[in-house]
Amino acid sequence: MEVVGRVSGQRRWSDAGKLEILAEAFRPGVGVCDVIARREVSSSLIYTWRKQLREGKLAGVVP
């Protein structure tokens, strides 16, 4: 997974990295909370990325 850089202390994720986390978070039998803790991302960020994906603002396939 690729973290593109940091802006004022925050990580900046590549589209590929976001898609990887989303695929993991919404896989059947996996808890979103487990992925959040393991990947150290906030729940709001996960759901923002999912919304961006559904709206076509994130390159990938809708999960």
Residue with the bigger pLDDT between 3 and 20: it is 20
Question: Six-digit token pair at 24?
Answer: 């993991």
pLDDT at site 1: 53
Q: Could you tell me how far CA 27 lies from the centroid of its own chain?
A: 13
pLDDT at site 59: 78
User: Under a CB-based contact definition with an 8 Å cutoff, are residues 16 and 1 in contact?
Assistant: yes
pLDDT at site 9: 67
Q: Is pLDDT of 4 > 80?
A: no
pLDDT digits (tens, 9 = 90+) for 8-63: 667 888 999 999 999 999 999 999 999 999 999 999 999 999 999 999 988 766 55
